[in-house]
Amino acid sequence: MYNIMNVTCAEIQSAVGFLYVIHSVILNQSLSADCEQGWYSQDRRLIADPSKPQTLIDPATSVSSDHLSTSSCVNLNHEIICDSVPYRTLFRYICRAAGWATPNTFARFYNLHVLNEVTPDFQHSALA
């Protein structure tokens, strides 16, 4: 199951950096089984594992089972695997400054077919 969250950096900015939160519906589905979870960078590197909160890779600054704090606003992938069933949340930031939208490459990177999620690749309002 894929969940795509389009967010602006301002929406997730907090006093400790940037806060990425997993929906409780997804967490509740994973509580009944022996599950593994992790936070991954856009290039699929593991940057945080809630079962090993002392092992963080930049930009991760803290982690728990329901959220990750980072020092910068980046595209991330959170994954929970329960009994071989993956639950993935993709956090894709959208830059609204000057009419720019972030490229849709994040979804393509994970080979996703995203319905009702259209983000033009590097389309600028002045070029339209």
* Domain containing residue 38: CATH number: 2.60.40
Contact (Cβ atoms closer than 8 angstroms) between residue 76 and residue 39: yes
From CA 29, how far away is CA 11, in angstroms rounded? 26
Is the residue at 54 inside a domain?
Answer: yes
How confident is the prediction for the chain on average, in pLDDT? 75
Is the residue at 25 inside a domain?
Answer: yes
Q: What is the pLDDT of residue 97?
A: 52
What is the tens place of the pLDDT at every residue in 29-80? Answer: 766 667 889 999 989 999 999 999 999 999 999 999 889 999 999 999 999 9
Is the residue at 119 inside a domain?
Answer: no
Residue partners of 44: CB distance under 8 A and separation at least 6: 77
Confidence of residue 112 (pLDDT cuts 50, 70, 90): very low
Is the residue at 124 inside a domain?
Answer: no
Strand order in the sheet with 67-70: 13-14, 17-21, 67-70, 60-63
Is the residue at 49 inside a domain?
Answer: yes
Closest CA to 94 of 4, 21, 9: 9
What is the radius of gyration, based on Cα positions, of the chain?
15
The domain total for the chain is: 1
Mean pLDDT of 92-101: 60
% of residues, the chain, pLDDT over 70: 69
Q: What is the pLDDT of residue 86?
A: 86
Q: Residue 35 belongs to what domain range?
A: 2-109
pLDDT(121) > 50: no
Is the residue at 7 inside a domain?
Answer: yes
Confidence of residue 120 (pLDDT cuts 50, 70, 90): very low
User: What is the reported pTM?
Assistant: 0.71
